[in-house]
Amino acid sequence: MRLYNTLTRKKEEFIPIEPGKIKMYACGPTVYNYFHIGNARTFLTFDAMRRYFEYRGYDVTFIQNFTDIDDKIIKKAIEENITPDEVSEKYILAYFEDADSLGIKRADMHPRVTKNLPEIIHFVEELISKEYAYVVEGDVYFDVSKFKEYGKLSKQSLEDLMSGARVEVNEQKRNSLDFALWKSAKPNEPSWESPWGNGRPGWHIECSAMSQKYLGETIDIHGGGGDLIFPHHENEIAQSEACSGTTFANFWLHVGYLNIDNKKMSKSLNNFFTLREIREEFDLESLRLFMLSAHYRNPINFSRELLESSQNALQRLYNAKNNLEYLFDVTENRNLTEEENLKLDNIKKFKDRFVEAVDDDFNTADGVAVIFDLVREINTGIAENSPKEIVEVSLSILRELAGVLGLLQKTEDTLEDKVEELIRQRQEARKNKNYALADEIRDKLKDMGIVLEDTPSGVKWKRVILETKN
């Protein structure tokens, strides 16, 4: 397996620190609002990576934090006339609800900043004792000039960063790039006791402290959105390696940006969508397929038309699965002919093709392409006269490969419920003499491989093999 390491700007063979085990940390949300679809891409990518590592036999420990105290959370609390704790609790619950709807598995731990303050304070004390940090009137800053490798992740020298830094009116800092490890308390804001007086932690120190607590001083993979490379991840490296004296993370993985209709997502452009808003109109499994159909490092363009296309593509996968399930019930066990043995061997090779694709820097785009190649093979080569063994193996491999990416996860009960609900809507439309809608619903069911029969005892339905378009 090879992964592109942002630290070295090249693909490298992935060798974990401990054979068979992976320690992975991904930056989670600051919980002051519902997360948007750009965030969704990052969260989904690391969920899919974790699933794939587990599929390849690794024991993965995956940590994703919640930043539950921050200027934005405090501002939101004032706007909603509730406490910062109530804001963070509200949006943590909302995060899980939205993440669940996108098929994102829970991390092994979701540590919160406010539950790890002793570790954060101890981390800052260590940096002060090693003279990497300094205290000014209750604030604690990291001195970037003391960390000689500062800029190694963003590939910028300290001098270039200094010259390009925004001019800040802050006479407390020794250097313009020095960043806060601890902020002294402000009136009417939450604060905690520390050796430097009441205050709260800076943003960057939180992830370093929680990663070290739950995964150790050196981890296999650290990741997040591309916007976090500088300053967040750069600062994490500086303070973590200054504190421990050893490498913080062997691999740094970053997810590309998501644009809306070829424009950067922005509230000012009125093209800012939360996942919750997308959920109201689309099945989020189609969004999952859409996002995994692009390489995680590449920018991706989102539009209604592209998501509708992804929804149709997802239906093709379900049609293939449903057809195979139907065929499994009607085909017979028999010996395979020589030609059928060759066909079975060819179908089994799709697993190797999938692994070869995704092993190359987690290339889910090519992995998805392999799955659709398998679907084409199924649609053109398997029928009611096929031996049950070919049907069974094809169904198993389709479920397996799609399942690795978190696709085809709806149960048959869900399909039946959907069919019954559409039939109910059709009956209601006919009762209201809305025959156009009734015909539209019948056509929709037909596209799902469902054929209706109106009988004196009511509407009966059955599944048929679809002639799926490739």
Q: Is 388 left (phi over 0), alpha (psi -120 to 50) or beta?
A: alpha
> What's the rounded Cα separation, in Å, for the pair 86 and 376?
51
Q: What is the pLDDT of residue 343?
A: 94
Per-residue pLDDT, averaged over 44-49, amounts to: 98
- Please indicate if the annotation marks 243 as binding a ligand: no
Digit-coded pLDDT (tens) for 133-153: 999 999 999 999 999 999 999
Residue among 310, 400, 409, 295 at smallest CA distance from 347: 400
Q: What is the pLDDT of residue 460?
A: 78
Q: What is the pLDDT of residue 461?
A: 80
- Listed ranges 15-24, 404-413, 418-427, 444-453; the one with the highest mean pLDDT: 15-24
Q: Say what percent of the chain tops pLDDT 90.
A: 76
Backbone angles phi and psi of 452, in degrees to 5: -100, 150
Digit-coded pLDDT (tens) for 85-115: 999 999 999 999 999 999 999 999 999 999 9
Residue, of 168 and 19, whose pLDDT is higher: 19
The pLDDT-based confidence of 468 (bands split at 50, 70, 90) is very low
The label of the residue with tokens 């070295």 reads 8
HSE, CB side, 13 Å, CA atoms: give it for residue 101.
Answer: 20
Q: What is the pLDDT of residue 466?
A: 59
Q: What is the pLDDT of residue 412?
A: 52
- Please indicate if the annotation marks 236 as binding a ligand: yes
pLDDT above 80 (res 271): no
pLDDT above 60 (res 131): yes
Tokens of 9: 């700007």
205-219 core/surface letters (b: 16 or more CB in 10 A; e: else): bbbbbbbbbbbeebb
* Cα dist from 233 to 25, 37, 223, 247, 321, whole Å: 12, 22, 9, 13, 42
Angle value at C-alpha 27, between 21 and 31, nearest 5 degrees: 135
Crossing angle for the helix pair 304-330 and 412-431, to the nearest 10 degrees: 110
The label of the residue with tokens 């004390």 reads 125
Q: What is the pLDDT of residue 448?
A: 73
- Please indicate if the annotation marks 267 as binding a ligand: yes
Digit-coded pLDDT (tens) for 285-338: 999 999 999 999 999 999 999 999 999 999 999 999 999 998 998 899 999 999
pTM of the predicted protein model: 0.87
How distant is the alpha carbon of residue 454 from its chain centre? 44
Q: What is the pLDDT of residue 415?
A: 63
The pLDDT-based confidence of 358 (bands split at 50, 70, 90) is very high
Q: What is the DSSP string of 88-135?
A: HHHHHHHHHHHHHHTTPPPPSB--BGGG-HHHHHHHHHHHHHTTSEEE
Cross-strand bridge partners of residue 302: 260
Q: How is domain 2-281 classified at the architecture level of CATH?
A: 3-Layer(aba) Sandwich (3.40)
For 304-404, which CATH class? mainly alpha
Tokens of 135: 């205290």
Please measure the distance between the N-terminal and C-terminal CA atoms of the chain and give it in whole angstroms.
Answer: 30
Average pLDDT, the chain: 92
The pLDDT-based confidence of 422 (bands split at 50, 70, 90) is confident
Q: What is the pLDDT of residue 165?
A: 61
261-273 core/surface letters (b: 16 or more CB in 10 A; e: else): eeeebeeeeeeee
Is 389 within 8 Å of 336 (Cβ atoms)? yes
Per-residue pLDDT, averaged over 398-414, amounts to: 85
pLDDT above 70 (res 236): yes
446: CB partners within 8 A, 6+ apart = none
Domain chopping of the chain, boundaries: 2-281, 304-404, 412-463
Residue among 262, 407, 419 at smallest CA distance from 321: 407
The label of the residue with tokens 């063979």 reads 13
